[in-house]
Amino acid sequence: MNKKRLLLFILIPLLIIGILAFFGEKGVLHLLRLQKEEVRMKEKNIHLERENQKLREEVKRLKSDKRYIEEIARKELGMVKEGEIIYQFDPPIGKKQDSKSK
């Protein structure tokens, strides 16, 4: 009987410690979740760095490249040069019906 009590006296605390080590606030599962989040954050940082680099390049072009500024003004603002004539055509009738049905 003493051996069983001693075994229980040792096993129960070990079991509790094991459960806490695995499921506890600083346990293995929490560590795995943190590692997954770290990977996700690193990927997001890489994506944001690429986006920042593109924006830096665009700012540089906007500051120094007059042709690029003209291209943006034409494309986004619909601007034209003095004396320039713009021709706009309606899409063919078949194309209008196709786009409405989508």
What is the tens place of the pLDDT at every residue in 26-85? 788 888 999 999 999 999 999 999 999 999 999 999 999 999 998 888 888 888 888 888
- Structural domain span for residue 55: 9-80
* Domain total of the chain: 1
Q: What residues contact 79, with CB distance under 8 A and at least 6 apart? A: 73
pLDDT digits (tens, 9 = 90+) for 17-28: 888 777 777 788
pLDDT at 95 over 70: no
The structure tokens 């309606």 sit at: 90
Judge contact between 21 and 28, C-beta under 8 A.
Answer: yes
User: In whole angstroms, what is the distance from residue 96 CA to residue 98 CA?
Assistant: 5
Q: Does residue 3 sit within a domain?
A: no
- pLDDT for position 80: 85
Q: Does residue 50 sit within a domain?
A: yes
The structure tokens 């094991």 sit at: 18
Q: Does residue 14 sit within a domain?
A: yes
Q: Does residue 4 sit within a domain?
A: no
CA nearest neighbour of 62 among 73, 51, 52: 73
Q: Does residue 37 sit within a domain?
A: yes
Q: Does residue 96 sit within a domain?
A: no
